[in-house]
C-alpha cells in the first residue's frame, strides 16, 4: 500500500509544526491548571514536561509504522488486522475524532456563554459557528492547514500578556521543587494528557504531508512548543494563585487576563476569548476532517455528504451537553479515552508493525 494522495493536495513538511501544535492547544489551556494540581500540587508543572516527552516518543512510534507502510491508518488497520477487524478499528477511530471535535467545540461555546454572552443559548451559538466549520471542511486539507498556521501566528502576541500576572506572582508558591513523589507526578501526568491529545490526527493526514517519512522533526518541534506553552502557563498560574484559589478557579488563565489594564480596552479577557476562536477552529476542523476522511476511506462516496452529517451531529450533540456538570464529566471521560488510545493503541500498532515486518523478512530469507 502506498501514498496515493495527489501532490497538489499535499502541504509542505514544515506545516507539520502548525498541525501538531494546533491540534494540541485548544480550550484546555484556559483552565487546565485546577485539574493538574490534584496530583502533584505545585510540582504539577514538571508533569507537563514529562508528558510532552512521552508524546514525542509516541510520535516517533507513529512515524515508524506510517513510514514503513507509506499510507494512513485506515489502510494499516486492514493490513494488520484483516478487513472485518480493521473496519471496526476504523469506525471506532472515526467516533473518537468526532467526540474530540465535539468536546473542544462545546467547551468553547461554554466559555463564550460564561464570560461574554450569558443570555445567548447554545443552539444560537451553534448556528453562528457551524456554517464556518462547514466552509473550512469543504475547502479541504490545505485550507485546514492554513487555519492551523494563522491559529498560531495571530494569537501569538497574547503570550506577552503573561508578563502582567508575573508581577504579582510569588515564587515561594513553587517551592520546594520536587516535593512530591513519582506517584503524584504520574497522577498529574494522567490528567495533563488530555491537553496533549490531538497529535494522533497525524495517523490520518500523514499521506497529505510531502515527504512526510523524512520530516518527522517538524512534528517534534510542534510538541516541544506545546510543552513550552503548557509549562510556562502552569508555572505562572502556580505563582499567581495559591493552590486553594486554583482549585476553585474554573478558567484560571482567563482570570489572570482580567487583571490586565489597557487604556482603550476595559475587559482584556474579551480580547483573549475572541482571538481564541482562531486557536480552537483548527482543533475542531482537524478532528472533524479526520472523521470524514476515515468514513470516506471506509465506505467511499462524496465527502460533502459526510461533512453535512457531521455538522448536524455536532449541532445535536452540543445541545445534549447542557450544563457545567455534564460538560465536566464529558471532558473527564474524553481524557480517559484519549489516554488509552495514545498509550495503548499506538504502541499496539507499533508492535504489530514490528512483528509483521520480522515475519515478512523471515519468509523472504527462507524463500
pLDDT at 202: 95
Q: How far apart are CA 102 and CA 311, in angstroms?
A: 10
pLDDT band at 301 (very low <50, low <70, confident <90, very high): confident
Cis-peptide, bond into residue 176, ω within 30° of zero: yes
pLDDT at 132: 95
Least confident of 218-227, 302-311, 357-366: 357-366
In a domain, 94, yes or no: yes
In a domain, 255, yes or no: yes
Indicate whether 10 pLDDT > 80: yes
Tens of pLDDT, residue by residue over 182-212, are: 899 999 998 888 889 999 999 999 999 998 7
In a domain, 96, yes or no: yes
In a domain, 313, yes or no: yes
Cα separations in angstroms, 308 against 76, 163, 290: 27, 43, 14
Query: pTM score, two decimals?
Result: 0.93
Can you read off the three cell numbers belonging to residue 134? 462547514
In a domain, 322, yes or no: yes
In a domain, 365, yes or no: no
Buried b (16+ CB within 10 A) or exposed e, 308-338: eebbeebbebbeebeeeeebeebbeebbebb
Mean pLDDT of the chain: 89
pLDDT at 3: 54
Give me Rg for the CA atoms of the chain.
21
The CATH number of residue 179's host domain is: 1.20.1740.10
In a domain, 363, yes or no: no
- The region, left, alpha or beta by phi > 0 then psi within -120 to 50, assigned to residue 312 is alpha
Can you read off the three cell numbers belonging to residue 194? 488530555
pLDDT at 313: 96
Percent of the chain whose pLDDT exceeds 70? 98
Q: How far apart are CA 175 and CA 155, in angstroms?
A: 31
Count up the domains in the chain and report the number: 1
**Domain enclosing residue 177, as ranges:** 12-353
Please state the rounded mean pLDDT for residues 309-333. Answer: 90
Tens of pLDDT, residue by residue over 13-27, are: 999 999 999 999 888
pLDDT at 2: 52
In a domain, 83, yes or no: yes
Amino acid at each position: 500500500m502506498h501514498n496515493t494522495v495527489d501532490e497538489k493536495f499535499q502541504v509542505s513538511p514544515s506545516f507539520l509544526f502548525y498541525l501538531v501544535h494546533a491540534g494540541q492547544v485548544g480550550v484546555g489551556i484556559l483552565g487546565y491548571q485546577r485539574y493538574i494540581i490534584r496530583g502533584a500540587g505545585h510540582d504539577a508543572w514538571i508533569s507537563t514536561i514529562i508528558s510532552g516527552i512521552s508524546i514525542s516518543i509516541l510520535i516517533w512510534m507513529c512515524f515508524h509504522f506510517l513510514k514503513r507502510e507509506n499510507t494512513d491508518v485506515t489502510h494499516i488497520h486492514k493490513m494488520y488486522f484483516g478487513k472485518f477487524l480493521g473496519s471496526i478499528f476504523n469506525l471506532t477511530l472515526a467516533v473518537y475524532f468526532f467526540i474530540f471535535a465535539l468536546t473542544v467545540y462545546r467547551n468553547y461555546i461554554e466559555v463564550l456563554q460564561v464570560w461574554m454572552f450569558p443570555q445567548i443559548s447554545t443552539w444560537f451559538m451553534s448556528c453562528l459557528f457551524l456554517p464556518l466549520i462547514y466552509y473550512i471542511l469543504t475547502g479541504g486539507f490545505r485550507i485546514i492547514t492554513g487555519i492551523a498556521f494563522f491559529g498560531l501566528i495571530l494569537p501569538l502576541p497574547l503570550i506577552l500578556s503573561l508578563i502582567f500576572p508575573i508581577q504579582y506572582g510569588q515564587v515561594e508558591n513553587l517551592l520546594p521543587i520536587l516535593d512530591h513523589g513519582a506517584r503524584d507526578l504520574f497522577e498529574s501526568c494522567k490528567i495533563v494528557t488530555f491537553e496533549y491529545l490531538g497529535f494522533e490526527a497525524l495517523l490520518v493526514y500523514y499521506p497529505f504531508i510531502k515527504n512526510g517519512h523524512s520530516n518527522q522533526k517538524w512534528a517534534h518541534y510542534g510538541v516541544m512548543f506545546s510543552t513550552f506553552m503548557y509549562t510556562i502557563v502552569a508555572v505562572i498560574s502556580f505563582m499567581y494563585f495559591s493552590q486553594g484559589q486554583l482549585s476553585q478557579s474554573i478558567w484560571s488563565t482567563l482570570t489572570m487576563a482580567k487583571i490586565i489594564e489597557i487604556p482603550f480596552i476595559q475587559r482584556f479577557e474579551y480580547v483573549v476569548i475572541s482571538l481564541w476562536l482562531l486557536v480552537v477552529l483548527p482543533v475542531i476542523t482537524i478532528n472533524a476532517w479526520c472523521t470524514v476522511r476515515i468514513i470516506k476511506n471506509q465506505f467511499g462516496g462524496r465527502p460533502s455528504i459526510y461533512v453535512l452529517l457531521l455538522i448536524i451531529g455536532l449541532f445535536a450533540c452540543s445541545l445534549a451537553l447542557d450544563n457545567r456538570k455534564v460538560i465536566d464529566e464529558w471532558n473527564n471521560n474524553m481524557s480517559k479515552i484519549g489516554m488509552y488510545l495514545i498509550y495503548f493503541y499506538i504502541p499496539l500498532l507499533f508492535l504489530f508493525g514490528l512483528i509483521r515486518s520480522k515475519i515478512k523478512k523471515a519468509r523472504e530469507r527462507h524463500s
